[in-house]
Structure 1
Amino acid sequence: MLVQKLSWIILLLFLCQHGIEAKRTIICEGGSAFLSCDFGLIKVLEANYGRTDHTTCASGRPSNEISNTHCFQEKSLHTMSARCNGRKSCSVPAVNSVFSDPCRGTFKYLDVSYDCITAKRSTTCEYTQSVIICDTGVISIYHANYGRRDLVTCPHKLATSPDCYSPQTLSLRSRCEGKKSCQLNASNSVYTDPCYGVFKYLEVMYSCI
């Protein structure tokens, strides 16, 4: 917990020093949220799939579908982070099948705030090892995922699904945070298998601070 708090403090200081303003996108249920960075990589800050007011995505909707303004999906940030963090762009459908339905009968929307941050990205294909190194400063992990988010990275005949998410941010922080170098091992024996039969890779987004 202390490592996680320190990491967020470091991120906030970084954003304040560089004067970066968060981007925000709101997509009505049934649409798709598109996040992109011209410079840097995506870092999702806040997300909610639900409803918190009477006016957003309310046009043409009966009152009973927009009356609940206390509709929160607590896993929204986790879902968006797993799908988008560390990428130049991503598209996420605002549908119940992705987020699950936090309030049945309510017409929902996806509200996301994110930043584009300067960070390094490391990719380690399954069954291999790699090392991340900071020549200056020490490692600060922003995001890590063991799975597969596209069909291009680490090409393989078993690269059959782009929707394999197993966030490992906390695990990598505890192992690598504050070090000059850290060895990465992309293996089911280390992270367990999030999608059996799919060839995976370990993505890590980090900075040297």
Structure 2
Amino acid sequence: MQQGRMSFIFLLVLLCQCGVKAVDLTTCEGDTAQLSCGLTSHVITCESDTASLHCDQGLIKVLSADYGRTNSATCSSGKPANQISNVQCTQDSSLSVLASQCDEKQNCSISVSNTVFGDPCVGTYKYLYVSYICIPSAAVIQTENSCEGDTFSISCNKQFIKVLSANYGRTNNDTCSTGRPANQISNVKCTQSSSLNVLATQCNGKQACSVSTSNTVCGEPCVGTYKYLNVSYICQPNNHFIKVSVADYGRTNNETCSTGRPAGQISNVHCSQNSSLSVLTTQCDGKQDCSIPATNTVFGDPCVGTYKYLSVSYTCAPNPA
């Protein structure tokens, strides 16, 4: 499979109930490091290749997908500039295509092509981005709606919440429509892309969770429309938390995150930021998921003029200690 320079390395963390899995992650300067103990996998596959989703245990549940191009670095090797310059190319039907092909299967392969997904941007060399989770075959996916102005609450008793999908907006004119005038429920193409992140941040890894269904919390995706929050989640019998063991923002070799960089930006291989570990542990320890920008603003600049990267080693442990 052709591999372009990915904006960051996605790693699938597979955990057994009684064990601890070590994960090493490298993120280029300017990108965002994604640490996860939530059993979520991310796959990027270049156009004309075959995407493969796999769950050793449990069944596939696709969370998000897009066939197109949103940056000029991924799957770019050997491609002329005009084929990778359009970075606003997305295919709205990508998720439904993947879900219909892969959900509730242990293994799934799908051709990454215009024939399967349609062509959202003619002349652009595209790639497929997929995020999915492996859920236990016995897990029950629960879906809840909460009308705007109410409070969304879920509980997993002694188990732990894992949010699979979320949208604050309106995709039909029946839900939360009682007593509402037609103009407040007619827009059924109202979605808020940040909904999943909001719910995951508030609820993942907790036994119970309450979130205000409001523009203040979720943002305002469609002014004048009466919205609702739609959330799908599972209750997990087991929970794991991030424990960062090693972290360094700097450069210790001239190969990592070097594509397209002049020699002067990668020649200093004795660059380390001593405070990197404390920054990561403060931000990420004890959480199921954590995102942190690999930037000088967050870590400080240990070597001005050098293009740096963040190297992290962490484990997913049963207790947040």
Matched with 1:15 is 135
What amino acid does structure 2 have at the position aligned with 1:110?
L
Shift of 1:21: 1.1
What does residue 205 of structure 2 align with? Answer: 86
Shift of 1:175: 3.0
Matching residue within 3, 7, 11 for 1:3? 11
Q: What is the alpha-carbon distance in structure 2 between the residues aligned to residue 58 and residue 86 of structure 1? A: 32
Residues 27 and 112 of structure 1: is their aligned pair in 2 closer, same or farther, counting only changes over 3 Å? same
SS at match of 1:81: helix
Superposed, which structure 2 residues align to 1:165-180 within 5 Å? 168=290, 175-176=313-314
Closer/same/farther in 2, CA of residues 66 and 42 from structure 1, 3 Å limit: same
**Alignment partners' CA distance in 1, 2:154 and 2:282:** 18
CA–CA distance in 2 between the matches of 1:97 and 1:114? 22
Structure 2, gaps ≥5 residues long: 1-8, 15-39, 42-53, 60-133, 247-280, 294-311
Alignment partners' CA distance in 1, 2:140 and 2:282: 25
Report the 3-state secondary structure (helix = DSSP H, G, I; strand = E; otherwise coil) of the residue aligned with 2:220.
coil
CA RMSD of aligned residues (A): 3.7
Query: In 2, Cα distance between the equivalents of 1:82 and 1:205?
Result: 19
Distance 1:170 1:4, change over 3 A: farther
Q: Structure 1 residues 116, 170: CA separation in 2 closer, same or farther (over 3 Å shift)?
A: farther
Task: Work out the CA distance in 2 between the residues paired with 1:90 and 1:69.
Answer: 27
| Deviation of the 1:109 alpha carbon | 0.1
Asked if 1:116 corresponds to 2:235, the answer is yes
Q: Is the contact between residue 159 and residue 238 of structure 2 (CA under 8 Å) also seen in structure 1?
A: yes
Greater CA radius of gyration, 1 or 2? 2
Alignment gaps of 5+ in structure 1 = 132-143, 148-152, 154-164, 177-181, 183-203
8 Å contact from structure 1 (residues 36, 88) kept in 2:
yes
Deviations 1:33-55 (A, max 9, x none): 10110242000000000000011
Shift of the 15–85 alpha-carbon distance from structure 1 to 2, 3 Å rule, reads: same
Query: Would the aligned equivalents of 2:245 and 2:313 in 1 still touch at CA under 8 Å?
Result: no
Q: Distance in 2 between matches of 1:64 and 1:4?
A: 44
SS of 1:25's equivalent in the other structure is strand
Query: Within 5 A, what are the aligned runs for 1:52-63?
Result: 52-63=171-182
| Correspondences of 1:34-183 after superposition (within 5 Å) | 34-122=153-241, 146=283, 168=290, 175-176=313-314, 182=315
Report the alpha carbon displacement of residue 206 of structure 1 after superposing the two structures with TM. 5.9
Instruction: Give the secondary-structure state (helix, strand or coil) at the position aligned to 1:98.
Output: helix
**CA deviation after TM superposition for structure 1 residue 24, in Å:** 1.3
In the alignment, the residues of structure 2 paired with residue 205 and residue 30 of structure 1 have an alpha-carbon distance, to the nearest angstrom, of: 38
- Describe the SS at the equivalent of 1:175: strand
1:93-147: CA deviation from partner (whole Å, max 9, x where unpaired): 10000011000000000000100112234588xxxx889xxxxxxxxxxxx9948
Query: Which residue number in structure 2 is paired with residue 201 of structure 1?
Result: none
Q: Distance in 1 between matches of 2:152 and 2:282?
A: 21
AA of the residue aligned to 2:290: Q
Using structure 2 for the length normalisation, give the TM-score.
0.39
User: Identity of counterpart residues, as a percentage?
Assistant: 35
TM-score by length of 1: 0.58
3-state SS in 2 of match to 1:78: helix
Aligned pairs for 1:180-195 (under 5 A) are 182=315
Number of residues of Structure 1 aligned to a counterpart in Structure 2: 146
SS at match of 2:11: helix
